[in-house]
Chain A
């Protein structure tokens, strides 16, 4: 398994979640000051780091990978299906696209009405923690199945978080033009593919191309997602 595959997956997952978190931090920063916003975000990052440090190395040290793959693999498949079906629904027009500007406006209105710095701190903390929790779980599960590549998945997630937060602070505007749905589709396909590979290994299935079968899964699930988007697309009414 290539470190770039795991690092790239956590990078994209983290990027898309941090775009959503940055919108909330930005709203807090503009309405209640950057100190409140960044303190809340920093504490959320500490909490997420504790989760990764507490569980990642422990799982990475386990000798018997097989039973871990049987636990982690199905979780990855379920995560992948959840990400992918939402992306398909959005691409097909069954669910509204994620509108960062609308979310930003709603958060600003709520924070202006509240005026309490504690609400700002809690909003910033919760925004980063909730969005980052799924990424932390993904990093920890990657550590369980491919311990040698733990560093790749952690740095993938951290790099994306730093880039997105820095860009948000520099731009002082929500990321309305980021192709979130396309990124979510890629992450969904990757999670589903990795989950399939690991669950199969845990079950003792013999993949026809070894670890390289992952690329078959990527092609199969990407094709399935494209087909399902066409099937689910709402008919246009005049």
Chain B
């Protein structure tokens, strides 16, 4: 468990919002294939920006 925690801290810096938001961005890109390609790409970037905002609003690590 401690090793997993270390890896998680190393990769995500202890953030919960970052991996969750990134998963949402990836799943949205995969499961909404009918959107216009440019809109799909822009949606992905918009979700990443929101993820950054959410991660910044988290408690200071």
Interface pair B45/A217, CB less than 8 Å apart: yes
* CB < 8 Å neighbour of A88 from B41, B45, B56: B56
Interface pair A205/B60, CB less than 8 Å apart: no
Tell me the residues in window 82-123 of chain A with beta carbons closer than 8 Å to chain B beta carbons.
82, 84-86, 88-89, 94-95
Residues of B contacting A207 in the complex (Cβ-Cβ under 8 angstroms): 41
Counting residue pairs across A and B whose Cβ atoms lie within 8 Å, the total is 83
* CB < 8 Å neighbour of A79 from B11, B30, B45, B57: B11
* Main DSSP-derived SS at the B contact region: helix
Contact A78/B12 with A85-B52, A206-B37 known, Cβ cut-off 8 Å: yes
CB of A196 within 8 Å of the partner chain: yes
Q: Which of A79, A82, A85, A221 has the most CB of B within 10 A?
A: A85
| Interface size band for A | 20 to 34
Q: Which B residue's beta carbon lies closest to that of A70?
A: B26
Contact A74/B22 with A85-B55, A205-B37, A206-B37 known, Cβ cut-off 8 Å: yes
Interface pair A224/B18, CB less than 8 Å apart: no
B interface with A by C-beta (< 8 Å):
10-13, 15, 18-19, 22, 26, 29-30, 37-38, 40-41, 44-45, 48-49, 51-53, 55-58, 60-61
